[in-house]
Amino acid sequence: MTKITLITGAYQSDRCGIAHYSMCLRRELAQYGVESIVLTTKVAAPADETDVRGVVKDWGLTQLLPLVQAIIATPTDLLHIQHAAGTYSFERAIFLLPLLLRICGYRKPIVTTVHEYGWWEWQPPIIPPQMMEWLKVWGQKQRWWDREDGFLLTGSDAIITTNAAAEKVILQRLPHYANRLHRIAIAANIEVAPIDRQQAKQQLRQHYNWSSDALVIAFFGFLHPVKGIEYLLSAFAKVVVQNPHVRLILIGGVESLALPEAQAKQYWNKLQGLITQLNLVRQVAMTGYVETKSASYSLSGADIGVLPFNHGVTLKSGSLLAMLAHGLPTIATRATPPDPDLSDEILEFIPTRDVEALTEALLKLVCNPQLRDRLSTTGRLFAHRFSWSFIVKQHLDIYQMLQASFAN
């Protein structure tokens, strides 16, 4: 039986998408007899889960040695690091982990999943920029480190990326590591809960005291300043003028690792203030954090999905896949560069940060049930390609390949 050690920056699924992903991955691996131990921070480890261990105070440099000691002391067959900068509080010490493990005699396969890449480089104030740039380029050419993640990728025996944009940048910077690189897309961040569609529609409208013929537009995911919600509210206010029967529901909480409690409360109040200012109190509902089943029922009861992210939407978005899996015809902002796996056959694309374009797209779907039906069908078919059964089998193939390689 294979047993793996999983390193995660956090393990609170209600506050972190990567934590939720890690939980789902562990659940699916267990179906194939793969046991897993999670090593994370003491504050993030649940007291009632013996296989989730808090071994470090934080992700700073002083905690690297306790982390290395914990990994070496944990009897597993493979180490798998889940990395996204925010989950490690934007600390860079984790980039030294593979190097230190090898120096300390660790001889088991190391896998790193890179959830984000290509935007976050280090520029320490004590090193002149020109010298730092030379060091970054020189290290990459020597295949010692990469300019963004230090030894994290070059020290891993397999690199998994979840999206085409990250894969492209990694290949540009580390072409000699192409044989180690694997792309495994994420799945929807919630499953479709079984419910009759008409029943879901009726329940949603009754819950918010909306008329039975209301057409409901849904946003789903953490409510963060980068999600373009202010643009959505401004556009929706214009839509309501022409279509008074339309309603908007914002499904999701605010507090997360990216937006801690004080900032989250401030942003929640800002959104509520904007809703009042736009005279939309009766037309807009904000759910706050809700359990998976409740979120799924709301998505099943809605008519249109919208994700107006400020930086555009890619397949990194579990919220996008959830909307498509629920059959919602979805409007999304186009990323730069565009995600090659997302086409106009699947989504109604609009530019980022453009209230007029968003208003036009919303009106287009509100007034065109045939277009809604077509996007619903193509989106649902597309989402079927991203299942956890497929994702876990790809992971198992990588694990087995590495174990066989290390055994020889």
Q: What pLDDT is recorded for position 14?
A: 67
Asked whether residue 173 falls in the same domain as residue 82, the answer is yes
Same domain (yes/no): 169, 300: no
Two tokens at 341?
A: 């796996």
State the pLDDT at residue 71: 96
Domain residues for 368?
A: 197-383
Report yes or no: 288 and 254 within 8 Å, Cβ to Cβ. yes
Number of domains in the chain: 2
Q: What is the predicted pLDDT for the residue at 181?
A: 96
Domain membership flag for residue 192: no
Are 8 and 131 within one domain?
A: yes
Whether 50 contacts 81, CB under 8 Å = no
Q: Are residues 129 and 244 in the same domain?
A: no
Q: Indicate whether 267 belongs to any domain.
A: yes
Q: Is residue 354 located within the same domain as residue 255?
A: yes
Q: Is 330 helix (H, G, I), strand (E, B) or coil?
A: strand
Q: Is residue 283 part of a domain?
A: yes
Residues 211 and 359 reside in one and the same domain: yes
Q: Quick one: tokens of 244?
A: 């008074």
Indicate the SS3 state at residue 173.
Answer: helix
The full 3-state SS of the chain, as one line of letters, equals CCEEEEECCCCCCCCCHHHHHHHHHHHHHHHCCCEEEEEEECCCCCCCCCCEEEEECCCCHHHHHHHHHHHHHCCCCEEEEEECHHHHCCCCHHHHHHHHHHHCCCCCCEEEEECCCCCCCCCCCCCCHHHHHHHHHHHHHCCCCECCCEHHHHCCCEEEECCHHHHHHHHHHCHHHHHHEEECCCCCCCCCCCCCHHHHHHHHHHHCCCCCCCEEEEEECCCCHHHCHHHHHHHHHHHHHHCCCEEEEEEECCCCCCCCHHHHHHHHHHHHHHHHHCCCCCCEEEEECCCHHHHHHHHHHCCEEEECCCCCECCCCHHHHHHHHCCCCEEEEECCCCCCCCCCCCCEEECCCCHHHHHHHHHHHHCCHHHHHHHHHHHHHHHCCCCHHHHHHHHHHHHHHHHHHHHC
Residue 396: count of CB within 10 angstroms of its CB:
16
Residues 157 and 257 occupy one common structural domain:
no
Q: What is the pLDDT of residue 258?
A: 67
401 and 278 inside one domain: no
Same domain for 162 and 221?
Answer: no
Residues 45 and 150 occupy one common structural domain: yes
348 DSSP β-pair partners: 331
Same domain, 183 and 243: no
The CATH number of whichever domain residue 207 belongs to comes to 3.40.50.2000
- Residue 118 placed within a domain: yes
- From first to last of its 408 residues, the chain has per-residue pLDDT tens of 689 999 999 887 666 778 888 988 999 999 999 999 999 999 887 777 788 999 999 999 999 999 999 999 999 999 999 998 888 988 999 999 999 999 999 999 999 999 988 888 877 788 888 888 888 888 888 888 898 898 999 999 999 999 888 899 999 999 999 999 999 988 888 889 999 999 999 999 999 999 999 999 999 998 888 999 999 999 999 999 999 999 999 998 887 666 677 887 888 899 999 999 999 999 999 999 888 899 999 999 999 999 999 999 988 888 999 999 999 999 999 998 888 888 899 999 999 999 999 999 999 999 999 999 999 999 999 998 888 888 999 999 999 999 988 877
